[in-house]
Amino acid sequence: MKLNRRLFLGTGIAASALLTAPTVWGQAKPKVVVIGGGAGGATAARYLAKDSQGALEVTLVEANPIYTTCFFSNLYLGGFREFESLQHGYDKMAGAGVTVINDIATAVDRAAKTVTLAGGQVLPYDRLVLSPGIDFKDGSVPGWSVDTHAEIMPHAYKAGPQTQLLKKMVEEMPEGGTFAMVAPPNPYRCPPGPYERISMIAHVLKGKNPTAKILVLDPKDKFSKQALFEDGWQRHYGTMVEWIGPDFGGGAVEVRPDTMEVVIDGEATKVDCCNVIPGQMAGKIAALAGVTDDSGWAPVDPATMKSKMDENVWVLGDSSAQGDMPKSGFSANSQAKVASMTIRGELTGSKTFPAKYSNTCWSLLAPDDGVKVGASYESTPEKIASVESFVSEVGEDAALRKATYEESLGWYAGITADMFG
Amino acid sequence: MRKGRSLFGLLFALGAFPGAAEEIGDADHGGGVFNKECAACHRIGPEAQHRVGPRLTGIFGRRAGSEEDFSYSKSMARMGADGLTWTLETLDAYIANPKALVSGTKMNYRGLASDADRADLMAFLREFSDEPQNIPEAEPTALKTNPDLSPEVLAIKGDPAYGEYLASECQTCHQADGSDQGIPSIIAWPPEDFVIAMHAYKQKLRPHPVMQMMAGRLNEEEIAALAAYFATLE
């Protein structure tokens, strides 16, 4: 080896080869850094490493050593899953060829192509993938701030201790008490999520506290799978759930955490448990990297998921502004595969194909009563556009609803295996 | 080649019965076909009981996998839950090639390739269903045909690299290691079975809405590529 190396260095031809074909001559492999280990980031990291078969150096930066999925966390609230069943480690990532660093990215220098971590480490990259999920817009619900009030009126919209706190609060509600949800404005993570959560909380209260009331205060005049949810609430929970849209003050809500009140169109109501799901924006690191626009989200090229602000940066999942796809784990996982394919194409010359995207969101209304909505998508010059869609129908028979629920369990097993290996 | 002919049967089934309730075939001859092909496992008539296979009395209009005291395959039960109902179209397709319609069926039968024999058998079975004049036909969507589709699609050699990329979309739900936890395994299938099944979804003969949507936007080469790729997984 030594002799060969000397020989190479000693000749002009070899020296110029070193300059023109660095990967062949043993210099560092192209580096991809992925920030965020959820449905977008974990999938992207695993597919990049797996499909490039060692040709890329893939590093995944994720704050939590154990990841708790936000999808299916409503089923935990409803008593259908154990909390631990939502938790996944990254131990199989190393086997797939991914280096996992448990730290928080605090800065991106796009000119120098580096990421700085809270622990001080600086990671150089050739391509950067940002998949940091959501952050909350402070001030979107008057009277509530994530830093001071999340322990009193939890959001439970990033799964973890917040989800456990909300479950405990629901279970400890006084007999005949009132639960209120402040639903988020569009766009937000998981469009049917707040309403599936209402179904799950109604299910718990129906068993433990059947005279309790549920108020949904909503700034939107319509919501995902509305007919299915309203039919399910009426069939399973009678008059327990009251949805208050913007026509009746649902869009002009203030909360008073100190006195446990919600103020609807100027009128204060005492509540016993309040779930505030505020307005949302891209995860903070996307803004710090300077790839978000005035909307708070990160615009991307529909064909590749590449940021419109930087040709070396990709943004996946909830943080991206791409067009018609909902912000969901399924969408993020789908987008990650397109991103992984295009990044590999650029760095290793592997073949690329036209992007295909898809999404399905299952929701549980009550035991064995599952519904779903989904669509397929393709890229157009302007956006990712819906091609075909379907949604469950009101009045489906019990066997189909049960099959839909069982299918959702299969999907959870499938997507988590696809994300974490 | 056997599968090639079966696919003809499947395509024929899609366009063969444009709603006319009478004149399906020769029921008397169909009785002979039943005795030869079906009677080893199935009984039919007012007093018929389940045997190896379920009783076939009143089969038309019945939800697949719905006889309460019969133990169906997981696959048949799933198709029933998804909405598969026995009509002239669906039953004809099933008898032509059972596994093309219900992948994991327990019915260990190679399929009946002759269009005429199936039509006669159908006429015979129909005599044991209620209100023969009012047998529900398949949804209008089931009559869609793909004029470009021919047995040659089975000869298409898929590009495995393309298949690998396309397969990543399937693997959000269908696990790469073949685990089946509510969503069936699709690995290690013979490629021809895979292609036929996907076209059955594409033509909305199989009922599942997610699969109809997924298959609906795949072209013949893409289906072949997927079949080629998944066949390699173990």
Q: Does one domain contain both B86 and B155?
A: no
Tell me whether residues A390 and B174 touch, CB distance under 8 A: no
| Interface with chain A: mutation pick from B141, B168, B179, B222, highest number of A CBs within 10 Å | B168
Q: Is residue B145 part of a domain?
A: no
Q: Is the pLDDT of residue A382 over 90?
A: yes
The tokens describing A28, both together, are: 């560092």
Taking contacts as CB-CB distances below 8 angstroms, the residues of chain A near B183 are 407, 410-411, 413-414
Q: CA dist B133 to A392, B33, B116, Å?
A: 31, 23, 21
Per-residue pLDDT band for A257 (boundaries 50, 70, 90) equals: very high
Within this chain, do residues B22 and B49 fall inside the same structural domain, yes or no? yes
Q: How many CB atoms lie within 10 A of CB B184?
A: 17
Average per-residue pLDDT for chain A: 94
The SS3 call for residue A327 is strand
Using alpha carbons only, give the angle B31, B35, B41 rounded to the nearest 5 degrees: 130
Tokens standing for residue A44: 């992207």
Q: Judge whether B213 is closer than 8 Å to chain A, CB to CB.
A: yes
Handedness of CA A81, A84, A86, A88 (dihedral sign): negative
Q: A351 CB near a chain B CB, below 8 Å?
A: yes
How much is the pLDDT for A27? 64
Structural domain span for residue B52: 2-140
Is there a contact between B175 and A417 if contact means CB atoms under 8 Å apart? yes
Mean pLDDT of chain B, nearest integer:
80
Contacts of A176 (CB under 8 A, 6+ apart): A209, A211, A212, A213
Long-range contact set of residues A74-77: C-beta below 8 Å, sequence gap at least 24: A74/A193, A74/A196, A74/A197, A74/A199, A74/A200, A74/A364, A75/A200, A75/A364, A76/A163, A76/A167, A77/A156, A77/A163, A77/A166, A77/A167, A77/A170, A77/A197, A77/A200, A77/A201, A77/A204
Between B81, B164, B175, which is nearest A413 by CB?
Answer: B175
The pLDDT value recorded for residue A205 is: 98
Helices (H) and strands (E) in chain A, counts: 12, 24
User: Is B168 an 8 Å CB contact of chain A?
Assistant: yes
Find chain B residues with C-beta within 8 A of A408's C-beta.
182
Same domain, B15 and B65: yes
CATH fold, domain A146-278, is: FAD/NAD(P)-binding domain (3.50.50)
Whether residue B28 sits in one domain with residue B114:
yes
Who contacts B224 (Cβ-Cβ below 8 Å, separation ≥6)? B153, B156, B157, B158, B191, B195
Residues of A in contact with B174 (CB under 8 A): 414
Least confident range from A14-18, A299-303, B71-75: namely: A14-18
Say yes or no: B135 and B76 in one domain. Answer: yes
Q: Are B56 and B48 in contact (CB under 8 A)?
A: yes
Assess if residue B146 is contained within a domain: no
Nearest CA in chain A to B214: A376
pLDDT at A8: 41
- pLDDT of residue A26 exceeding 80, the answer is no
Residue where one domain finishes, among candidates B140, B169, B203? B140
Closest approach of B27 to chain A, Cα-based (Å): 34
Question: Is B59 part of any domain?
Answer: yes
What residues in A contact B212, CB-CB < 8 Å?
390
Judge contact between B28 and B219, C-beta under 8 A.
Answer: no
What percentage of chain A has pLDDT greater than the value 70?
A: 94
φ, ψ for residue A129, nearest 5 deg: -115, 120
pLDDT > 50? residue B4: no
Query: Residue A418: closest CA among chain B residues belongs to which residue?
Result: B172
pLDDT value at residue B11: 41
Tell if the CB–CB gap between A415 and B82 is shorter than 8 Å: no
A385 touches chain B (CB under 8 A): no
Segment B196-219, tens digit of pLDDT: 889 888 888 788 899 999 999 999
Place of tokens 């001859």: B29
Residues B134 and B155 placed together within one structural domain of the fold: no
Q: Looking at residue B214, which CATH number applies to its domain?
A: 1.10.760.10
Q: How many domains does chain B have?
A: 2
Last residue of a domain, one of B87, B113, B140: B140
Q: Coil, strand or helix: which one is A158?
A: coil
Whether residue A2 is predicted with pLDDT greater than 50 in this model: the reply is: no
Q: How many residues does chain A have?
A: 421
On whether both B100 and B17 belong to a single domain, the answer is yes
Amino acid B3: pLDDT: 38
Nearest CA in chain B to A44: B168
The answer to whether residue B136 neighbours chain A at the CB level (below 8 Å) is: no
- CB contact, 8 Å: A49 with chain B? no
**Candidate from A337, A390, A413 with C-beta closest to B181:** A413
Q: Output the furthest CA–CA distance in chain A (Å, rounded).
A: 87
Asked if residues A221 and A247 have their Cβ atoms less than 8 Å apart, the reply is yes
CB contact under 8 A, A399 and B180: no
Q: What percent of chain A has pLDDT over 90?
A: 92
Q: What's the pLDDT score for residue B23?
A: 66
Give the pLDDT confidence of B126-176 residue by residue, as tens digits: 888 765 544 544 333 333 333 245 678 888 999 888 999 999 999 999 999
User: B121 near B30, Cβ under 8 Å?
Assistant: yes
pLDDT at B233: 84
Residue pair A254/A266 in contact (Cβ under 8 Å)? The answer is: no
Residue A406 contacts B, CB cutoff 8 Å: yes
Selected residue of B67, B74, B76, B172 to mutate for chain A interface (largest A Cβ count, 10 A): B172
Q: Within this chain, do residues B157 and B42 fall inside the same structural domain, yes or no?
A: no
Closest-CA distance of chain B to residue A373, Å: 9
- From chain B, the residues in CB contact with A334 under 8 A are 169, 172
**Would the pLDDT of B187 be above 80?**
yes
Residues 241-280 of A with CB under 8 A from B: none
Q: Are B234 and B171 in contact (CB under 8 A)?
A: no
Residue B103 pLDDT greater than 80, yes or no: yes
pLDDT, tens digit, 9 for 90 and up, residues B36-47: 999 989 999 888
Q: CB-CB: which of B81, B175, B213 is closest to A402?
A: B81
For the domain made up of A2-133+283-420, give the CATH fold: FAD/NAD(P)-binding domain (3.50.50)
Q: Is B209 on the interface with A (CB under 8 A)?
A: yes
Q: Where in chain A is the domain with CATH 3.50.50.60?
A: 2-133+283-420, 146-278
Same domain, B44 and B132: yes
Say if residues A407 and A415 touch (Cβ distance below 8 Å).
no
Sign, CA torsion A78/A84/A85/A90: positive
Q: Positive or negative, the Cα torsion across A347, B167, A159, A155? A: positive
N- to C-terminal Cα separation, chain B: 26
Position B24 scores a pLDDT of 77
Give the end of a domain, one of B117, B140, B163.
B140
pLDDT of residue B100: 84
> Per-residue pLDDT tens for A8-20?
443 444 444 444 4
Residue with the bigger pLDDT between B82 and A223: it is A223
Interchain CB contact of B74 with A (< 8 Å): no
Give the pLDDT score at B132. 52
Q: What is the mean pLDDT of residues A44-65?
A: 96
Residue B131 has what pLDDT?
53
List A264's β-bridge partners, or say none: A253, A267
Is residue B26 located within the same domain as residue B130?
Answer: yes
In angstroms, the first-to-last Cα distance of chain A is: 37
Residue A355 CB-half CA count within 13 A: 31
What is the average pLDDT across A392-397? 95
Interchain pair B172, A330: CB under 8 A: yes
Query: How close does chain B come to A343, measured CA to CA in Å?
Result: 13
Identify the pLDDT of residue A262: 98
Interchain pair A356, B166: CB under 8 A: yes
Chain A partners of B179 at a C-beta cutoff of 8 Å?
A: 413, 417
Convert the pLDDT of each residue in A62-111 to its tens digit: 999 999 999 999 999 999 999 999 999 999 999 999 999 999 999 999 99
pLDDT at A37 over 80: yes
* A140 and chain B in contact, CB less than 8 A: no
Q: Which residues contact A382 (CB under 8 A, 6 or more apart)?
A: A302, A323
The reply to whether residue A353 touches residue B83, judged by beta carbons under 8 angstroms, is no
Q: Report if residue B158 sits inside a domain.
A: yes
Condensed to tens digits (0 to 9), the pLDDT of residues A329-343 reads: 999 999 999 999 999
Partners of residue A417 in chain B, C-beta under 8 Å: 175-177, 179
Chain A nearest CA to B183, separation (Å): 5
Look at residue B25 and tell me if it is in a domain: yes
